[in-house]
Structure 1
Amino acid sequence: MKRTTSHRRSALTASSGKQPASETRKVRASKSDPPRGVSFSMRTCIALTAAAVVLAFANSFYGVFLFDDQPNIHENMSLRSLQATWEASGTDVPSGLWNRPVGRWSLAVNYWISGLEPWSYHAVNLAIHLVASLILLDLLRRTMHLRGTPLWIREHANPIALVVTLVWAVHPLQTESVTYIVQRLESLMGMFYLATIYCLLRGARSRRHWWWYAAAVASCWLGAFTKEVMVTAPVVALLYDRIFLSRSWLTVLRRRGWVHAMTLPSSIYLVWAARRLPLLPRPASRPSIPSPFSDYTDPWNYLLSQPGVLLHYLQLTFWPRGQCLDYMWPVADSWPEIVLPGLVIIVLLTASFVALWRWPRLGFVGLASFLVLAPTSTIIPLRLAFEHRMYLSLAGVSLLTVLAAGWAIRRSIDDPTQQRRVAIGLSTIVLLSLIVTTHLRNTVYYSRLAMFQDNVAKAPENIFAYMNLGDYYLEVDDPASALPLFQVTTKIKPEDARTWTCVGCALKELGKLDQAAAMLKRAVELNPDYSQANHHYAVALEQLDDWPAAVEHFEKAIAQDPGNATIHNDVAVALGSRGLFADAEGYLRQALLLNPEHGEAHTNLGSMIMSQGGSPREAEFHFREAVRLQPDSREAALNLQRVQQLAAPAAVGDRKQKG
């Protein structure tokens, strides 16, 4: 408003003859006026944002399915058709997608487009992140133009919004939400979170406010059905309304009370729904690797450990070195690990509340960043640290940092031209560095081997990093490389049955059955209720011809994990080796009921059908499925070729009879 008034006064003065136009220009360019910024149109800002995001994440398309992609995509039968997704009940859906139908449907559409080819999943992830970036760009720009914003920020609203958005959009911390496929749930939720506030702002400044308010409510509920972190969005939207759009709480209630009344129930729903969720996702049924998902701590220890985690997030924000997909962050168990980080976080949180009182707009940014992190960084015991949790909060840190840098430049440099040069140069250096770092971080997602090796290097105390790398070597028939990795885990956690189970599996693959049985027996003694230990111990005992003991442990394994198709497959193999073909066939059919895309079970059932003189067509079907699911399996390919050769003469005979 001040700028418009001064322009009107200058125009009136010039037209009245009291002051020449040249003098007016001198007044406008005087030292007391704020410096003019670089002229960035909104179209230019949009184009630069899109180009930067695509450039930073172009190589994300080379990424493969990793970790939680396995249970949520590869083994998720509810994605196999849109009808299956619609009809899926709670028991058919992996826990990582429980009460998250929007995210589940997005994955189902990807499966419909490209099956288990990752390219379409990456395309959608990139599109979600780009849309979120553009929403953030316009949200920042429009917010900075609101009444009460310092004049120098309003006059530079476009370039400031652009730099903040670019820092947020191309930051390496975002790779876990963009390149890691299943974590699109975080970026999709973030997009709806930003859209809720953006539509609220647009509605307050538009004649068609009903449409914008309806979009705000819809965005809030879509976010709630995407991920539980959305629980704080109605609170943040309410604070934004009061601080930026309204003069009082009464104004909020009078003008947009009904909007907030329709969004707040989404938070209530999420709190209620969270009570029905397991605290951690169920693991995939892996043939040799135990689940890491039972290693969570109680709420109190979780809360005491979070300050150190939050400071690590901040460190990665300013110096993104040492990123790790799975930290297996240790519980803080000493006073220095608890008190010192805790004091820093208390100071930052207190500063946010003080700023909320003294400088509400700055305080809002700090408090909103904490509120976004609150569901995963307070007392709900999940895994302690994951970088994708900073997806939205990074925007707040970026905004405060860019504003602080702009303020420092204005205070330290008087010449407006020099100010612009320094700002542009500094922004360019930072953004290019972030884009290059993000591009390099994406390369770790190119293969499971690269990711597992990176995880071992970054988290040397994480037993599951070693287990995953060892499991990879087992899958490529290199148990000799897997064994030393598994042995490291027994030194890190000698009382953990899972570590000895892995050692036993590697020894079994090396043909050292006696040693394998000894390791697996120790695992069973440490944890008699651990299904994987009983499962692999039973396999070793059967190979050692101790059939009665093998049956006992097979039965225990199935009772402990009745939904594990791999256990049923291995029982069938053991029964088949003893000539019990009818029983073996029953277990194989049960395995395929549990997991219709279990490649080994298809191969074994096809072989079982052929060995008993069954239908060649049915056997061919199972071999075809095995080849589709395991294209590198030589056994499946040879079996398919043989059954096709057997079926060819029969098909010729049928044609002759018909003729």
Structure 2
Amino acid sequence: MPPARRRAPSNRSVKPSQTTDLQQPFDGAVSTRRPLLACWLIVAAGCLAYANSFAGVFVYDDLPTIVENRAIRSLDTTWSAQPQDIPMGLWRRPVGRWTVALNYAAGGLNPWGYHALNLAVHLIAALLLFDLIRRTLLLPQIPPQLQQAASMLALATALIWTVHPLQTESVTYIIQRLESIVGMFYLATIYCLLRGCQSRHPLGWYSVAAIACWLGVATKEVMVTAPVVALLYDRIFLTGSWKQTLRQRGALHAILIAAAIFLVWRSGYLPIAPQPPALPSLPDPFREDRPDRWNYLLSQPGVLVHYLKLCYWPAGQCLDYMWPVADSCSKIVLPGLVIVGLLAATFVALWYRPRIGFVGLASFLVLAPTSTIIPLRLAFEHRMYLPLAGVAFLSVLACYWLMLRLKLSDSAMRRGGGILCAVVCLSLLITTINRNRVYHSMIAIYTDNVAKAPWNHLAYLNLGTAYFEQGEHQAALQMFQRATELEPEDARPWANLGYSLQTEGEPDRAIEALRRAIQIKPGYLRPHRELAVLLQRKQQWPAAREHFERALEINASDPQTLNDYAIGLAANGDPVAGEAMLRRCIDYDPNRPKSHFNLAMLILRRQGANDDARAHLRWALSLDPNLQQARQILQQLQSLEPSS
């Protein structure tokens, strides 16, 4: 890269009307080989940082959105999925839903392919960020000191952003690909705007910018601010006046803003406009476990300060903080002063140094949908995916400015800057590799979560579930009990405790726990189903049937409820209804081997050996070759067939 020459800062900026054509690069650097080498370095660093992420498993929201999501089991079901079949995390997010459906079509539930796509998206976003910064710094209006160091500054920013451990939640945590995908489309929108401005044939670039914006809208709601950021970028960096911006690219900005308006309307936040049709997704009885708007807003300064701390010192990262609502002056006023100060500095910079102010304002705008008044869970690290780019760039720029102030020689600046960047990136890369390791098992990630947020009862709940699935039932029981102690008014720990007690041979205590779960949350399906199974085993069929019916009222297509209810019906003198229930279960989810086996057994008991029973036994074995009972019965049936 060209050496950074020490020159006195120039306060003169060339007005757009006085510049040469933006189609011509400042000094030919746009087309040199060095940017290509920088791109390869970014890709190599990203691959090295996330190579061990491929050993990661499905965790937390991956389970309902991918593992348990029947709507992605084929491309046909993905296309024809009804709203009630779509998990809450993918509701009105078709791009994200189709990416997981394509992953499933290519490799089923093998996490490797999902991680490969996540890394590819992250690397594309990193390359877009690099070239966006580089080309922006080469614009004629930019001071010569920055133009001469454009590739160096862009590379340092992109490397830090790519390997920073704060990005692991958006890259290694599979379903949070929605954050990285929308980040990629966000960057692509602004990048294509810039490229169109520099091109003699801009229509193609502007078309891609519009497509990227609309795809981002179909990915995640944070894209709502992209049209605003694109408009500000155009005004501040490309034209210098609102009149020129609207005259040259008014149609493009109208298309981008229309995407944002559509997103806001679809989300139901335009009270003066007709609302979109109701689209109920899969039942989520715990959706209301969030603070109100006012408490959410008051709590966000503390969260933002924590995000900022993680940018510079990424220690104590946590999958699910369950950040407590701010309930004291110290938790509200002190962080609030920090954030208000940063906002004030941003607006001052917008007035006196608008190009610097733009970086800060863009970072705040990306965070605005999740950090203002729309009540969500208070803190998640993936929300910093794009804002981290602004923090990284301003930090790199500050270091470069300091070296200029120190009046170092060109060689000293190159060596010092290179060494500093290498040390920072290597430290971040090692931290990222270590952070990726906690995603290698559910026990590891939730043990880490419990250690970082010991007040989080859901962390204990998830750790207990992980222990239970590994066969460590006593450890699971302890985690579930601890979760009920931390939050006795949450039905989920009680439901899991009941199931765990049932497995440990304590049906009476299990029934008590399940009844407690139902008392807390009558609309929660699982305790109704588990209680029905327990009551059936205790020969209390009328009560069991009542809970089965209630479970189906909550979700008529739940295959586990249908399967268990069918077994109960058959065992209590109604095999015809049981068979019909199992066929209904298989219609909803044809990939349940035990349902096929149970149906085959019912057919055999009612009708004797026939082709239908054999077909379901073979289907069960094709889904689960280790289902030995099905294999043995099928062999017995085949031995009874007359030889030809």
- 1:221 has 2:214 as partner: yes
Q: 1:242 aligns with which of 216, 221, 235?
A: 235
Q: Which residue of 2 aligns with 1:19?
A: none
The AA in structure 1 aligned to 2:200 is: R
* Correspondence for 1:385: 379
- The worse-fitting range, judged by mean Cα deviation, of 393-402 and 610-619 is 610-619
Indicate the residue corresponding to 2:430 in structure 1.
436
Map of 1:473 onto structure 2: 467
Any idea what SS the aligned residue of 1:85 has? helix
2:491 corresponds to which residue?
Answer: 497
User: What residue number does 1:269 align with?
Assistant: 262
Q: Counterpart of 2:23?
A: none
Query: Deviation of residue 30 (structure 1)?
Result: 8.8
2:561 maps to what in 1? 567
- State how far apart, in whole Å, the 2-side matches of 1:260 and 1:454 are: 45
Aligned partner (choices 526, 540, 549) of residue 543 of structure 2: 549
Cα distance change of structure 1 residues 120 and 141 upon mapping to structure 2, 3 Å threshold: same
Under a length normalisation based on structure 2, what TM-score does the superposition of the two structures give? 0.89
2:94 aligned with 1:119: no
CA 1:301–1:119: 2 relative to 1, 3 Å: same
Note closer, same or farther for the CA distance 1:292–1:320 as it changes in structure 2 (3 Å cut). farther
1:278/1:444 Cα in 2 relative to 1: closer, same or farther (>3 Å)? farther
Q: What one-letter code is carried by the residue in structure 1 that aligns with 2:440?
A: Y
Q: Which residue of 2 aligns with 1:25?
A: none
1:176 is matched with 169
Partners of 1:575 and 1:155 in 2: CA distance:
78
Q: So what's the TM-score if we normalise by structure 1?
A: 0.87
C-alpha contact (below 8 Å) 1:620/1:643 kept by paired residues: no
- Measure how far apart 1:212 and its partner are: 1.2
Alpha-carbon contact 2:4-2:145 (below 8 Å) kept: no
**Separation in 2 of the partners of 1:116 and 1:616?**
33
Deviation digits for residues 14-54 of structure 1 (CA, Å, limit 9, x no counterpart): xxxxxxxxxxxxxx9996579xx9x9811211111111111
Q: Distance in 2 between matches of 1:192 and 1:182?
A: 17
Q: Determine the structure 2 residue equivalent to 1:77.
A: 70
| Partner of residue 445, structure 1 | 439
Would you say 1:192 and 2:182 are equivalent positions?
no
Aligned CA distance change for structure 1 residues 475 and 56 (closer, same or farther; 3 Å): same
Distance 1:590 1:410, change over 3 A: same
Partners of 1:319 and 1:421 lie apart in 2 by 24
Whether the 8 Å CA contact 2:321–2:456 is kept in 1: the answer is yes
Which has the higher mean CA deviation after the structures are superposed, 255-264 or 541-550? 541-550
* Amino acid aligned to 1:402: V
User: Which of the residues 403, 411, 415 maps onto 1:417?
Assistant: 411
Q: Given residue 448 of structure 1, which amino acid in structure 2 is its aligned partner?
A: M
Aligned amino acid, residue 240 of structure 2 = R
In terms of mean alpha carbon deviation, does 205-214 or 532-541 score higher? Answer: 532-541
Query: 1:615-650 CA deviation, whole Å, 9 max, x = no partner?
Result: 55544544455456556xx5xx21232133134335
Distance 1:378 1:602, change over 3 A: farther
Question: Is the 2:83–2:280 Cα contact (8 Å) retained in structure 1?
Answer: no
C-alpha distance 630-278 of structure 1, shift in aligned 2 (>3 A) = farther
Number of the residue aligned with 2:628: 638
In 1: Cα distance, 2:150 partner to 2:573 partner: 78
Equivalence for 2:512: 518
Q: Does 1:86 align with 2:79?
A: yes
Give the structure 2 partner of residue 604 of structure 1.
Answer: 598
Offset of residue 121 of structure 1: 1.8
Contact 2:323 2:379 survives alignment (8 Å): yes
* Separation (CA, whole Å) in 1 of partners of 2:500 and 2:5: 77
Deviations 1:217-270 (A, max 9, x none): 111111111211111111000000000001211110111111111111000110
Q: Could you tell me whether the CA contact under 8 Å between 2:160 and 2:425 is conserved in 1? A: yes
After superposing the two structures, state which structure 1 stretch, 291-300 or 354-363, moved more.
291-300
Please name the residue that 2:398 is paired with: 404
Q: CA deviation at 1:356?
A: 0.8
| Correspondences of 1:609-624 after superposition (within 5 Å) | 609-614=603-608, 617-624=611-618
1:59 is aligned to 2:52: yes
The secondary structure found in structure 1 opposite 2:460 is helix
Deviations 1:412-439 (A, max 9, x none): 3533332322211111111011111111
CA change 1:424–1:472 in 2 (3 A) is same
Query: What amino acid is the match of 2:249?
Result: R
Residue 362 of structure 1 deviates from its aligned partner by 0.8
Determine whether 1:337 maps to 2:327: no
Are the aligned partners of 1:352 and 1:367 in contact in 2 as well (CA < 8 Å)?
A: yes
1:135 touches 1:198 (CA, 8 Å); kept in 2?
yes
Identity across the alignment (%): 51
Distance 1:31 1:263, change over 3 A: closer
Considering only CA atoms, is the larger Rg found in Structure 1 or Structure 2? 1
- State the distance in 2 between where 1:603 and 1:386 align: 43
Output the amino acid matched with 2:629: N
Structure 2 counterpart of 1:487, from 478, 481, 487: 481
1:394 aligns with 2:384: no
- C-alpha contact 2:114 2:174 (8 A) present in aligned 1: yes
Partners in 2 of 1:104 and 1:464 — Cα distance? 25
- Listed as ranges, the gaps of 5+ residues in structure 2 are 10-28, 269-275
1:253 maps to 2:246: yes
- Asked if the contact 2:84/2:282 (under 8 Å) is kept, the reply is no
Q: Report if aligned partners of 2:85, 2:281 keep a CA contact under 8 Å in 1.
A: no
CA distance in 2, matches of 1:277, 1:163: 47
Partner of 2:91: 98
The residue number in structure 2 matching 1:648 is 638
Are the structure 2 counterparts of residues 326 and 525 from structure 1 closer, same or farther at C-alpha, using a change threshold of 3 Å? same
Q: Which residue identity lines up with residue 338 of structure 1 in the other structure?
A: I
220-229 vs 597-606, which moves further: 597-606
Asked if the contact 2:192/2:205 (under 8 Å) is kept, the reply is yes
Q: Name the counterpart of 2:579.
A: 585
| RMSD between aligned residues | 2.7
Structure 2 residue aligned with 1:231: 224
List per-residue Cα deviations over 1:310-352 (Å, max 9, x = no partner): 1111111111112122222222222222222122111111211
Is 2:155 the counterpart of 1:162? yes
User: Are 2:213 and 2:226, in contact at CA under 8 Å, matched by a contact in 1?
Assistant: yes
Q: 1:305 aligns with which of 290, 296, 299?
A: 299
